[in-house]
Amino acid sequence: MSRIRADKFVNNAATGAPQLTYGAEVVAGVGLTGAGGINITGVCTAASASFTGNVSVGGVLTYEDVASIDSVGIITARSDVSIADKIIHTGDTNTAIRFPAADTFTVETAGSERLRVTSAGKVGIGSDDPSQELTVNGTDPIISVQEATVSSQVDIGTGTATGFINIQKADGTRTIQLNGSTDSYFTGGNVGIGTADPNSTLEIATGSGTRAITIEAPTLGPYIAFENSGTAFADIGSAAGLIGSGSDTEMLTLNARGSRDLAFRTNSTERLRIASNGNIGIGSQSPGSKLTVYESGGNAKLQLQRSNTASNTDDYGSVLWRSAGGTAVGSINVARQSAENDGYMFFQTASAGTLAERMRINAAGQVLIGTTSDFVRGQIQVIDGGGGEITIGRNDTTVVSGEDLGHLFFASNDETGTGVIAATINAFADANHTSASAPTNLRFGTCATNATSSSERMRINNLGRVGVLAAANSDVMQLSATTGSGESYEYLRGMHSATAVYDGTLTFRVFTNGDVENTNGDYGNISDIKLKENIVDATSQWNDLKAVRFRKFNFKAETGNQTHTQLGVIAQELELTSPGLVRETVDRDKDGNDLGTTTKSVKSSVLTMKALVALQEAMTRIETLESKVAALEG
C-alpha cells in the first residue's frame, strides 16, 4: 500500500484545506487532525473522534450501537434534540428527566418519580396522576414559599389527618395559621372577606340579602366566646352549647360570664343593661329592680300600643302577673271606653285562679271600685252589695293617747298654683289603744278667712260628746230648717236613756217656731254666791213694770214666722222706759256678712225678774193695806 506523508495538505490554490472528493480512510490509531478544521460533506465513519474545536453538522448526526456520547464541553443544539425516553445524570443513573408517555414528562431522583407534568397540563409532585393543576402528594407534604433576604414565608401542607396554611412575616413571627385540627388564627393587620380594604380586624362584605356568616355545630349547637387575656367574659350562641347540656340547641343566647353585666348601645350610648343579678335597666347602669326605666330629664315612659282600631272594651294593652305554674294572678289593663281615643284603666286580681276586675279608672278620671260605670257621682266611688267601705288606719302596735290614726284633707290652689289645706277630718287616740280598748275622737277642721291652715272647729270624743269651737267674731252654731215655722218639726231635741242614735226618752225640744219645751218646766241660770259679788237688794221696779205696754200682735208673713196673734211687748216701746231690756244685733247673711241693718230683741227673762220684784212690792203694799183695813174694821 502506498503512503503519502506530509506535514500539511492544502488545496490546489493553496488557500485552504484540500477536498477529499471520494472520501478518506484514516487508519485506526493514527487519527486525522486539522488546525483549520475538518469539513466532511459525506459520511464520516470513525471508531472514535476527538474535537478540540467546534463540530458543525449540517445534516443529521446519527449514532448506532453507541453506548454514550461523552462531551467535555457544552453540547449546543441549534434545533430540537430528540430523546427516546430520558436524560440521565452522568455518574448518577437514578436521576433523570423522562418522557414516559406522549405529552408527558417526569423528573426522577434516587430512582423514584418526584414530579410529573401530564398531557392535561397538570403538575404532580409525588403523584403520577395529579387531579388538580398542582397536586403535591406524600407523607406530611409542605409547599413553602420563602423570601431569600428575610424570614417571610408561606407554608401550605397537610398533616396525617388535616391540612394547614402558615404565613409568617419578615421577623419570623407567624401572623396567620389555618389548621384543620389545632388552633387557627390571624394576628396583625385587618382581615377582609369580600373587601380589599378592611377597616377592622375582620370585615365581611356581601351582596344585598346575602348571608355573611354561618356557624354550625352538631348536637348541642355552636357558640362564640369573647376573651380578655385568655379569660372568657361573654358568649353568644346556642343555649345548650353554652351550658354544655340541654335541648335548647336553636335558642340564641347572649351570656355575660361571672358577675359581669350585659349592655346594649346605640349611637355609642348605652341604652339597656342586664345586670349580673338579672335586673334590667333602661337608661340605668345600676338597676335596683327587675326593670328600671330611668330618664335623666324625667318623663321616663313605657309604651304599649295597639296596631289596629279597637272596639269598645277592646284592650289597648295589659301588664300581667303570673304564678310559678303560669296562671294569671293579676293584671293592669287599658281598654277603649266609648271612642278610639278614650281609654279606661282597670285592675284585676285572681281568686282561685280566676281573674276579676277590682278597680277601674274611667275616661273622666273617676275611680270606681265594685262598679264598672259611674254609679251616681264622685271622683272615688266604692260600691258593694253589702255597702262600700273605705278604711284609713295606723299600722302601729303601740298606739298611745294623742297619736293620729288617719286624715282626710280637703285642699285648693292659691293664686300661684300652690296647694293649700282648707279643711280636715282627723282621727286621734283618746287614750292608749289595746286589744280590748281603742278610745278615739274625731276632729273636724276648717280654714278661716285670712288663714292658710285649718283649725279644729268640732270634736266628737270617744263618748260621743260633741264640742264646737268657733273663730273669733263668729256664731258658734246655727240650726236651719227648710220647713216652715211651727210646732210640727224641731230644731233640736234631747233624749235620755238612749241605746242608739235617735233613741231614748224625750225631755227637751225646740220647735221651728221658736217654742221651747221640756218635761219639768225648769229653766234657770247659774246663781251660786261663790261666783257673785256686789250683792245688794233690787231697787223698785214698780214704775218700770207699770210703764211696760203689753200688746197683741202677729208677725208679718214675709218674715216666715207664724202669723197667729201673740201677747208681748215691742222692743222699741220697751226701750223707752227700760232700755236695758232691749238687745240690738247686726243682721247678717248666711255667710256672716253685715247686711247694714239691725234687729232688736227683748230680754224676756229679765223682764220676768222685774215683774217678780214689782210683784213683791205689790205684795208688800197689799199686806200694808190689809193691816190698815183690819185696823179700821177692828
Please report the pLDDT score of residue 61 as a whole number: 65
542: closest CA among 622, 608, 610? 610
What pLDDT, in 10s, does the model give residues 21-73? 666 666 656 666 666 666 666 666 666 666 666 667 666 666 665 666 666 67
510: closest CA among 523, 529, 528? 523
Alpha carbon of 413 to those of 215, 378, 410, 444, 452: distances in Å? 66, 20, 11, 21, 11
280 in Cβ contact with 292 (< 8 Å): yes
Please report the pLDDT score of residue 267 as a whole number: 95
> In whole angstroms, what is the distance from residue 14 CA to residue 73 CA?
33
Alpha carbon of 300 to those of 282, 284, 476: distances in Å? 9, 11, 52
Q: Within 13 Å of residue 593, how many CA atoms lie on the same side as its CB? A: 4
262 in Cβ contact with 274 (< 8 Å): yes
* Fold (topology level) of 539-634: Arc Repressor Mutant, subunit A (1.10.10)
C-beta atoms surrounding 360 within 10 Å: 21
Q: How confident is the model at residue 91 (pLDDT cuts 50, 70, 90)?
A: confident
Please report the pLDDT score of residue 58 as a whole number: 65
318: closest CA among 303, 333, 336? 333
∠ Cα 75 76 80 (to 5°): 115
Cell triple for residue 337? 271606653
> In whole angstroms, what is the distance from residue 199 CA to residue 266 CA?
20
168 in Cβ contact with 152 (< 8 Å): yes
Minimum mean pLDDT range among 18-32, 116-130, 215-229, 275-289: 18-32
Per DSSP bridges, beta strands 440-446 and 455-460 are: antiparallel
The SS3 assignment for 46 reads coil
Minimum mean pLDDT range among 144-153, 234-243, 278-287, 341-350: 234-243
pLDDT at 75 over 80: no
Q: What does residue 57 show for φ and ψ, rounded to 5 degrees?
A: -115, 115
Count, residues in the chain: 634
What pLDDT, in 10s, does the model give residues 370-385? 999 999 889 999 999 9
Q: How confident is the model at residue 325 (pLDDT cuts 50, 70, 90)?
A: very high
Residue with cell 208679718: 556
What pLDDT, in 10s, does the model give residues 539-571? 999 999 999 999 999 999 998 888 999 999 999
Q: How confident is the model at residue 269 (pLDDT cuts 50, 70, 90)?
A: very high
Please report the pLDDT score of residue 365 as a whole number: 95
> In whole angstroms, what is the distance from residue 281 CA to residue 274 CA?
6
> In whole angstroms, what is the distance from residue 467 CA to residue 321 CA?
50
Please report the pLDDT score of residue 417 as a whole number: 85
What pLDDT, in 10s, does the model give residues 401-425? 999 999 999 999 888 888 899 999 9
Cell triple for residue 414? 292659691
Q: What is the mean pLDDT of the chain?
A: 88
Query: 582-609 burial by CB neighbour count: b if 16+ within 10 A, else e?
Result: beeeeeeeeeeeeeeeeeeebbeeebee
73: closest CA among 55, 94, 48? 55
Alpha carbon of 589 to those of 133, 472, 477, 592: distances in Å? 119, 17, 14, 5
C-beta atoms surrounding 325 within 10 Å: 7
pLDDT at 462 over 80: yes
> In whole angstroms, what is the distance from residue 440 CA to residue 4 CA?
170
pLDDT at 189 over 90: no
Would you list the domain boundaries of the chain?
139-214, 404-468, 539-634
